A and B are shown apart, each in its own frame.
Chain A
């Protein structure tokens, strides 16, 4: 039977008391009145030493005895039928152990330049390359289309063959995904047209690739019927499950190990073709196979953020109330899907009528993959600029306009307030483009919107040994966010130890189920399990201590330094004295992430960022002078890891705003910049001073109350910068990346 607990919940110190049913085995959730020793403080990551000394071993570093090297041969053409594969020369090369085709039967189609055709494995990397050069593949080239606008035309080459494909692939433009809030398209149009003010504008954003510093890759090793995969993945269990399905083998026979991984940002969620090929090569060659992709392969085949062509329409009354919002967006995820951008338009503001219509357009390009808040940074770039435009049109301050139209979101209201004060919003000149001189400064803001995501079912096991040591095991991988540190902090908090006292082992599917690092759900999904386990362990230890002190368990408490004592402090025992008496030398408990204790109604994550920029109107170069970011993530766990997420999200937003752009050659369908030389990402010099403020949002919905922040932090950055640029120069930049050329072009039109 659950017990009733009184909790103080709310924003920062603005708390209200609620009563929540809590299962007997669970601790009272931390709430707004709990002052904790570690949780909510700044604790440097506990694996820092591994990383700074080079001891952290990544998939890239795995070397197992007998290991050979895999290599994938990819289509150089964006659209073709593979008609002939002759690998006889390569087979003759001594040291070539296995050559496999992606599809057994010829001919088969390839639909983007970089698609996998053949894979082989050889004793050395060089030999594998040499063998790959000897494989002769014949292609029957087909018409192709890589450009979004071209693909949408009536007579465009079809990316998928209508004869062979499922129904919704018969044309390049897929049926739109429609979201209506209170009305059909025509009804929204009527509202928009009869509004005091209406603004409609079209925006374009570019394709961004993930560029994790460690490229994608695996080492696959068979041992009889059992399979071990060292994978650079953000979803150990997802890789296990997908490989099990693909090869029709029991999940229990597959072990996926990810001790450290070099970034993913969404592109390393799935097992993907390269993993399947490595597993197959290893089985055929009867040797462990290492298959790491090159930087070029990473750009071509492992996913991207789709581009977009968005038309946003907003209507408002002259008093500044939004009457309706409409978005029509197209975007290409290559041969994949998921180019929608409607999140911000649908859920940030209180408008009564909202209508979004999002269509994926197929092109002959590598499929997209979720990329840090899929759809949202590009959606915010278009939508938040239109909102800005409307504010200026009505003659309202853009912040005031936003405050007025998001009154139902109390967290956001708190964020506006902090942001305006810390940024010094009121000091800015309300008139855009008013500054004299060649170099103009401007200030802007934009909102972010994301979702509270977690999946119940994750569990961890915690072991306490009679030497006093504490071990925690979880299958979770650390994508880089540093989940291990909050885990250690939570156990330390509950058991009154230090975070460095806790030994945590992660990244192995032999341990308990854990969330994939996607949707900003790891902290929300895993930390309650950790706290629950620690709480159970504490109960066990209190019982042992009570027995030793010969008092009732209720009479014993655990306090700082791991000291057990009676309530009256007459009897005391240190940690090791109690743990030494653990029967059989150790015990272990599990903790599970269950459903939330109650429906919080807070299904979204807010956030707002302010930017100040300096624009050189002669060179078109934009310099971000400073950013102020205010975000919420439930109850903050480790403020250092949260700040790091915000810093990283902002720099990725800056990188997206100014530099990154996958360019496909229209004439050949091939990527022009599949490297880090011409595919530019932001460097140390691009970092403005970043001031971040984290809202303490206690909801008591789980034992830790944590919610994610990784994705929200990158959503509003480009939009805030674009709004600041408009304020500086009085001209809207409606396309990304906002390069000097684009800015000069926009300025010249005036």
Chain B
């Protein structure tokens, strides 16, 4: 069965093979690891649940496999049935749980995730917090729970545990939330009954003036427990499934060589659906999300480098006030629960025809860094995406980073999304646009990249050429619309007809003009 991509947040690195394992590591991103560590791969995962370290040894445990979702794991326990399933695809948020992760600052960072999209090994070294854990030991309700009771925040209540967990993550975040932050925190939770009004009210009541809760009091104890968990590489095998969590790229390479058909994931918000919806038994998986060298964002002199395994949430936080269009795009991309798992490398590797990220990266003149055993090369994103779900990444390469040059002054970069719902919805048409004006309002340089208009994200080269060198005027832009119409042959599907897509693309261009015009 063909599946449309989910949330645009396709997070598998498949089908891109990994670097070959070399004796000398010339890649600055991946430090040399000894064979010894590979051999010492653990067969067991450990995480903190209910204030204790819980472990699952896949060599012994028969009830679970490494692709058992955290939701199904929780539902199998006697005392964690508060976590619900509403869709099994990360759209309704009824299964929202919070993961506590020990940060470099030694503090625990709390992230809401859809437990239906999280495979058990991804819990390793983290704290799993469910609705049952929110009450204090003295039985008083957590402030977010109390606020939900006071504002009458439930009707049927089936979505309530997930909603409460999203509010809890907001409560534990550093921000003093605005209405927009609250809506964002709730964008991954569907409620069919209440109209969200009392839920938003509850968030305002509980999360604006925060007090210390029992999680703050307990943080040191939990940190100690988390530190006890060895951060080994993992090699988890059950009957007919192998799931590896290497700690370095070199380990990945060795594994890759041994298991040439392996599926590579980093976030897995899309791949998880193959398990939950299609009941596939993915036989071999390499999970790159434990490789710290693949994570992080660094500010360079003329550009910013985002490592491929960085989650979209981290990028969104970083982009705020730095890359405005990128930040704007990420606020309507998926939901908090999705962005906390999905990674930028995973997204661009899928080369989805309607991804929102790729068109915008084109507008940013972004480069994709590919590394192999012997060399590192940089490709413009336009050259990286070569066709429908095809990229220029060779069999011996891996995406290691995305480099975004800092936009020059007096240039404009905008992102537009044409979709039914603003957030957590796949675009019908999306546009990433760049404009540099010369003297006398003449177009010096323009980039118009569209998603949803062709088999893959593509720039409107002819339209760009038509505009370049001419005055940036309504008349000219309107004329450009006729070029645009000829340049694309979009499909008709459930989201819109071909004509509708053309019209939308033309209007997005007009909108770009009206927002960048010089009067």
Contact = CB atoms under 8 A, between A and B. Distances in A.
Interface of A: 44-45, 47-58, 60-61, 126, 129, 211-215, 260-263, 265, 294-295, 438, 478-482, 618-621, 640-641, 643-644, 646-652, 658-659, 663, 672-673, 675-678, 680-687, 690, 737, 739-741, 744-745, 748
B195 A687 contact: yes
Contact of A214 (B84, B150, B418, B507): B84
B61 interface: no
Contact of B83 (A54, A621, A650, A741): A54
Nearest to A627: B195
B301 interface: no
A685 B423 contact: yes
Given A262-B156, A618-B511, A648 B423 contact: no
Contacts of A58: 84, 158
A53 B82 contact: yes
Contact of B504 (A620, A651, A680): A620
A265 B192 CA distance: 9
Interface in B384-402: none
A261 B193 CA distance: 12
B141 A49 contact: yes
A263 B194 CA distance: 11
Contacts of A621: 418
Nearest to B182: A684
A395 B309 CA distance: 62
Nearest to A214: B158
Contacts of B426: 677-678
Given A685-B423, A686-B422, 13 more contacts: A48-B148, A212-B156, A213-B94, A480-B193, A643-B152, A647-B194, A658-B420, A659-B421, A676-B89, A677-B7, A683-B424, A684-B200, A740-B419
B120 to A, nearest CB: 15
Given A213-B86, A263-B193, A748 B92 contact: no
Interface stretch (B130-138, B339-347, B373-381): B130-138
Contacts of A261: 156
A678 B494 contact: yes
Contacts of B192: 211-213, 263, 265, 648, 652, 681
B420 A737 contact: yes
A682 B91 CA distance: 12
By Cβ-Cβ distance, the 9 closest A-B pairs, closest first, are A54-B82, A262-B158, A480-B156, A647-B195, A51-B157, A651-B195, A54-B131, A48-B149, A480-B155
A507 to B, nearest CB: 13
Contacts of B94: 213
Contact of B152 (A56, A60, A641): A641
A680 B158 contact: no
B271 to A, nearest CB: 15
Given A54-B132, A482-B155, A741-B500, A687 B200 contact: yes
Nearest to B91: A676
A674 to B, nearest CB: 10
A648 B7 CA distance: 26
21 contacts: A49-B141, A52-B141, A53-B131, A129-B279, A213-B158, A295-B89, A482-B152, A619-B507, A644-B155, A644-B194, A676-B92, A677-B6, A677-B426, A685-B187, A686-B422, A739-B496, A740-B504, A741-B428, A741-B503, A745-B499, A745-B500
Contacts of A438: 511, 514
Contacts of B156: 212-214, 260-263, 478-480
Given A51-B154, A214-B158, A618-B511, A659 B420 contact: yes
Contact of A619 (B132, B160, B504): B504
B485 to A, nearest CB: 13
Contacts of B277: 675
B154 A687 contact: no
B438 interface: no
Nearest to B499: A745
Interface string B407-444: 00000000010111111111010000000000000000
Contacts of A52: 141, 145-146, 148-149, 153-154, 160-161, 164
B81 interface: yes
A213 B195 contact: no
A680 B421 contact: yes
Contacts of B325: none
A640 B201 CA distance: 13
B141 A53 contact: yes
B85 interface: yes
A56 B157 contact: yes
B497 interface: yes
A541 B419 CA distance: 63
Nearest to A480: B156
B159 interface: yes
A681 B81 CA distance: 25
A313 B269 CA distance: 51
Nearest to B82: A54
B151 interface: yes
Nearest to A686: B421
Contact of A744 (B89, B197, B503): B503
Contact of A682 (B157, B161, B184, B421): B421
B198 interface: yes
Given A53-B134, A212-B156, A677-B91, A648 B4 contact: no
B157 A260 contact: yes
B131 A683 contact: no
Given A44-B152, A619-B511, A675-B87, A50 B197 contact: no
A690 B197 contact: yes
Contacts of B416: 619
Interface string B501-519: 0011001101100100000
B157 A745 contact: no
A194 B196 CA distance: 49
B88 interface: yes
Nearest to A744: B503
Nearest to B147: A52
B228 to A, nearest CB: 28
B91 A675 contact: yes
Interface in B112-151: 130-132, 134-135, 141, 145-146, 148-151
B421 A672 contact: no
Contacts of A683: 186-187, 189-190, 196, 421, 423-424
Contacts of A260: 156-157
Nearest to B139: A53
Contacts of B91: 675-677
B183 interface: yes
A703 B418 CA distance: 54
Interface string B76-115: 0000011111111101101000000000000000000000
B191 interface: yes
Contacts of A54: 81-83, 130-132, 161
B403 interface: no
B250 to A, nearest CB: 36
